[in-house]
């Protein structure tokens, strides 16, 4: 079992190493051997990556099935690394949560790998791309299966750097490079908090092993748990792109579209929510932290949804929707429904991967990211259209697709929050959830209408994307559609009539509003009715500008100041010590003025003193 889990983690890792070193060589080998079949088969790095991903998926599936047949957590430790204090356990742990999320990660990764073959067919750096995607997958799987907090942190950070490389894959463009740096730095800022949270929790509990930590959480002082969970939340906010550390995610759209799918659906952003779910007992022991999480989620949810409403770039719409949907999960966790949140994590993984990959198809065909360049793609791209429709339906939460069930579970849970968070916070979260449903419907409808309906606004050849791209999209549509029904098995995940009706009503209102505006003139952007606030929404409430002023600029100024101080104060002090020495030497040189009389005076005076000393003391 644990061996299987470790194979799941290791196979993408090995693929990453092998693909990085030997991928191109394999391509050349396949080329010269003249392997029959599609040219895709001659793409060495892709072959390695896909095979590894498929293997990982297989292993994850076996793990999940085994665990389904015989529930109960399992763990295994390979070795303990001594550190001088608490040892680090190199070990994995598998339970239901891990198995399910792991399977989801593998599936999405596999879809992304396959999809990328076509999407990045002509890319000269495919080997590094595929290798980093594999490494990314492996890191996420490590987070999922890790049995030790510090091991989890390793995967957590490696994901950060993978996101850096992948977002900056097209580094020729400085904007991509900036986005990549931003993603890494913002998440790393959160990660520092996360690491400290691990310290607090681990040192408090006397071990870094997760199950042991959770078992001992009850015995810890409240302040320790609170401090630990709040610090962990910093990391969660960074990775899961929650306010106030969300700013990297929209910019991360600079990466290739499959990467967006991977980051948004399966890895990275999911990691934050997953970790909270994983350490949920600790969070339950600190309701204040959950309240903070709830407030964070409420702000992110609504703010991101409003921002999505005004975006002109399809991928940015989806990016903000991701922030918003992650906030749903965070809200779910805050109000006490772990299963609801994880359920939404899974359905979101499916439908967001679907949406991104489908958006990739659209971008591939139209050659543009901008909504205002699209239009009328419904006929030409049936697979994409229908898949994306299902995806948007899931995003909005329309029955019977998956998003409906998971959202409903969260909204219902928010109504009677059981996690111990203060009442007002729960109320705010609940209301925000409802409002966001409407706004979500509005922006989803807007994007959907502007992409597929009306007439084409720019010149491009409407056609379906290559099969390697459209098929993963089509296949992902299946879980998107049906995943929700799996929730029927658990009572707390079953839809509730009241909240379902309410949210449907709100969704309908939002959707209809967008439709009504769009119908007036299908050629124009419905976001125009937002009027003056549109710019504010589009720029994400200027949070970036604020950070520029408050963080980036002062740090830069400080850096310059430090260099100045180094040159002018510290180094000057060192160098002027030479001058001081010389001046001191000059002082001693004063008697050495070349006048022999002075010398002789000194000599005789010294002699007199010596003789005196001899006379007195001897």
Q: Give the range of 69-77, 163-171, 337-345, 395-403 binding another protein by CB under 8 A.
A: 163-171
Q: Which of 459, 497, 578, 587 touches another protein (CB under 8 A)?
A: 578
Q: Transcribe 125-137 into DSSP letters.
A: THHHHHHHHHHHH
Alpha-carbon span 1 to 20, nearest angstrom: 29
Contact 209, 86 (CB under 8 A): no
Closer to another protein by Cβ: residue 416 or 589? 589
Distance (Å, rounded) from C-alpha 463 to C-alpha 611?
A: 113
Helix, strand or coil for residue 206?
Answer: coil
Q: Which stretch binds another protein (CB under 8 A): 42-50, 171-179, 255-263, 524-532?
A: 171-179
* In contact, 237 and 190? CB cutoff 8 Å: yes
Q: How far is CA 315 from CA 440, 530, 617, in A?
A: 15, 20, 97
Q: Applying CB under 8 A, which part among 303-311, 407-415, 509-517, 570-578 lies near another protein?
A: 570-578
Smallest separation (angstroms) from another protein to the CB of 560: 5
Q: How far is the CB of 87 from another protein (least distance, A)?
A: 9
Q: Does 251 engage in binding with another protein (CB under 8 A)?
A: no
Measured in residues, the chain has a length of 618
Residue 184 in contact with another protein, rule: CB under 8 A:
yes
Peptide bond into 370 cis (omega under 30): no
Query: CA-to-CA distance for 21 and 26, rounded, in angstroms?
Result: 10
User: Is 216 an interacting residue with respect to another protein (CB under 8 A)?
Assistant: no
Closer CB to another protein, 167 or 425, in the complex: 167
Stretch that binds another protein, among 100-108, 190-198, 256-264, 290-298 (CB under 8 A): 190-198
Q: Which of 54, 76, 96, 188 contacts another protein by CB under 8 A?
A: 188
Does the footprint of another protein cover residue 36 (CB under 8 A)? no
For residue 446, give every residue at least 6 positions away whose Cβ sits within 8 Å of its Cβ, in sequence order, or none. Answer: 309, 371, 514, 518, 525, 526, 527
Distance of alpha carbon 497 from alpha carbon 134, whole angstroms: 42
Choice from 7, 40, 73, 177 touching another protein (CB under 8 A): 177
Task: For residue 347, give every residue at least 6 positions away whose Cβ sits within 8 Å of its Cβ, in sequence order, or none.
Answer: 394, 402, 403, 405, 406, 480, 483, 484
Among the candidate windows 2-10, 316-324, 417-425, 584-592, which touches another protein by CB under 8 A? 584-592
> Taking CB under 8 A as the rule, does residue 553 contact another protein?
no
Q: Please tell me whether residue 576 binds another protein under the rule CB under 8 A.
A: no
Using rule CB under 8 A, residue 178 touches another protein: yes
Residues 6+ apart with CB under 8 A from 418: 335, 336
The site that binds another protein (CB under 8 A) totals a number of residues, namely 70
Contact between 174 and another protein by CB under 8 A: the answer reads yes
The answer to whether 451 touches 355, Cβ cutoff 8 Å, is no
Choose between 478 and 609: whose C-beta lies nearer to another protein: 609
605 touches another protein by CB under 8 A: yes
Minimum CB distance to another protein smaller for 532 or for 594 = 594
Reference 412, options 489, 324, 502; nearest CA is: 502
Identity of the residue, 176 or 242, whose beta carbon is nearer to another protein in the bound complex: 176
Asked whether 224 and 514 are in contact (CB, 8 A), the reply is: no
* CA dihedral of residues 279, 285, 288, 290 (deg, nearest 10): 40
The separation between CA 190 and the C-alpha centre of its own chain, rounded to angstroms, equals 11
Q: Which lies closer to another protein via its Cβ, residue 463 or residue 589?
A: 589
In terms of CB distance, is 131 or 398 closer to another protein? 131
Shortest distance, CB of residue 361 to another protein, whole angstroms? 28
For position 203 contacting another protein by CB under 8 A, the verdict is: yes
Does position 153 bind another protein by CB under 8 A? yes
| Cα angle, residue 337 at apex, residues 331 and 342 outer, rounded to 5° | 80
How far is C-alpha 178 from the geometric centre of its chain's CA atoms?
16
- Name which of residues 46 to 105 contact another protein (CB under 8 A): 79, 81-85, 88, 90
Taking the complex as a whole, the smallest distance from the CB of residue 613 to another protein amounts, in Å, to 11
Question: Is 192 an interacting residue with respect to another protein (CB under 8 A)?
Answer: yes
Q: How far is the CB of 569 from another protein (least distance, A)?
A: 9
* H-only helix segments in 217-337: 222-239, 248-251, 257-261, 269-278, 280-284, 287-310, 314-335
Q: How far is CA 384 from the centre of its chain?
A: 26
Dihedrals φ, ψ of 90, to 5°?
-85, 95
Quick one: which segment of 46-54, 182-190, 477-485, 488-496 binds another protein (CB under 8 A)? 182-190
Across-strand partners of 580?
none
- Please tell me whether residue 199 binds another protein under the rule CB under 8 A: yes
Kindly state whether residue 594 participates in binding another protein, applying the rule CB under 8 A: yes
- When binding is defined by CB under 8 A, the residue of 21, 490, 523, 611 that contacts another protein is 611
Q: Is 370 in the site for another protein (CB under 8 A)?
A: no
Binding footprint of another protein on the chain (CB under 8 A): 79, 81-85, 88, 90, 128, 150, 153-158, 161, 164, 168, 171-172, 174, 176-178, 180-181, 184-185, 188-189, 192-193, 195-196, 199-200, 203, 555-556, 558-563, 566, 570-571, 574-575, 578, 586, 589, 592-601, 604-605, 608, 611-612, 615
């Amino acid at each position: 079992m644990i061996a299987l889990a470790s194979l799941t983690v290791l196979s993408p890792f090995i693929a990453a190493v092998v693909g990085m070193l030997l991928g191109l060589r394999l391509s050349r080998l396949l080329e010269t051997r003249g392997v029959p079949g599609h040219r895709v088969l001659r793409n060495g790095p892709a072959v390695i990556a896909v095979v590894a991903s498929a293997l990982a998926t297989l292993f994850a599936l076996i793990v999940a099935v085994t665990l389904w047949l015989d529930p109960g957590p399992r763990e295994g430790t390979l070795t303990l690394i001594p550190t001088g204090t608490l040892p680090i356990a190199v070990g994995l742990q598998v339970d239901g949560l891990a198995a399910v999320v792991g399977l989801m990660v593998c599936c999405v990764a596999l879809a992304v790998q396959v999809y990328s073959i076509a999407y990045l067919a002509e890319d000269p750096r495919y080997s590094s791309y595929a290798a980093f995607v594999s490494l990314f997958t492996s890191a996420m799987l490590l987070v999922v299966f890790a049995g030790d907090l510090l091991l989890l942190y390793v995967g957590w950070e490696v994901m950060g750097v993978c996101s850096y490389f992948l977002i900056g894959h097209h580094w020729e463009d400085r904007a991509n490079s900036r986005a990549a740096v931003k993603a890494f730095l913002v998440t790393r800022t959160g990660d520092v908090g996360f690491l400290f949270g691990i310290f607090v929790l681990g040192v408090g509990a006397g071990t870094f092993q997760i199950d042991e930590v959770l078992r001992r959480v009850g015995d810890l002082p409240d302040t320790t748990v609170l401090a630990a969970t709040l610090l962990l939340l910093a990391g969660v906010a960074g990775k899961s792109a929650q306010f106030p550390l969300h700013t990297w995610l929209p910019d991360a759209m600079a990466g290739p579209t499959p990467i967006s799918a991977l980051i948004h659906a399966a890895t990275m952003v999911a990691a934050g929510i997953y970790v909270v779910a994983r350490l949920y007992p600790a969070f339950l022991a600190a309701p204040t932290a959950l309240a903070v999480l709830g407030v964070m989620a409420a702000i992110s949810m609504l703010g991101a949804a409003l921002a999505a409403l005004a975006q002109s770039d399809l991928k940015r719409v989806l990016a903000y929707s991701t922030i918003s949907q992650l906030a749903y999960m965070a809200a779910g966790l805050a109000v006490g429904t772990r299963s609801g949140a994880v359920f939404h994590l899974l359905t979101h993984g499916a439908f967001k991967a679907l949406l991104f990959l489908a958006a990739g198809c659209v971008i591939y065909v139209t050659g543009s990211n901008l909504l205002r360049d699209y239009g009328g793609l419904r006929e030409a791209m049936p697979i994409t259209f229908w898949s994306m429709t299902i995806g948007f339906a899931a995003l909005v939460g329309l029955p019977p697709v998956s998003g409906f069930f998971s959202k409903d579970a969260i909204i219902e849970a928010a109504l009677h929050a059981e996690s111990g968070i203060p009442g007002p916070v729960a109320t705010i979260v609940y209301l925000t959830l409802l409002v966001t449903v409407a706004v979500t419907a509005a922006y989803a409808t807007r994007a959907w209408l502007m992409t597929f309906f009306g007439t084409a606004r720019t010149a491009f050849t409407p056609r379906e994307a290559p099969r390697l791209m459209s098929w993963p999209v089509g296949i992902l549509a299946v879980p998107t559609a049906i995943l929700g029904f799996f929730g029927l098995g658990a009572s707390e995940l079953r839809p509730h009539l009241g909240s379902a009706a309410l949210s449907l009503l709100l969704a309908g209102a939002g959707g209809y509003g967008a439709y009504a505006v769009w119908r007036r003139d299908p050629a124009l952007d419905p976001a125009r009715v937002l009027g003056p606030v549109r710019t504010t929404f589009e720029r994400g409430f200027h949070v970036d500008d604020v950070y520029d002023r408050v963080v980036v600029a002062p740090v830069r100024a400080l850096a310059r100041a430090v260099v100045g101080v180094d040159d002018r104060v510290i180094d000057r002090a060192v160098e002027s010590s030479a001058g001081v020495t010389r001046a001191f030497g000059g002082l001693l040189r004063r008697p050495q003025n070349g006048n022999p009389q002075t010398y002789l005076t000194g000599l005789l005076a010294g002699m007199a003193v010596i003789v005196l000393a001899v006379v007195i003391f001897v």
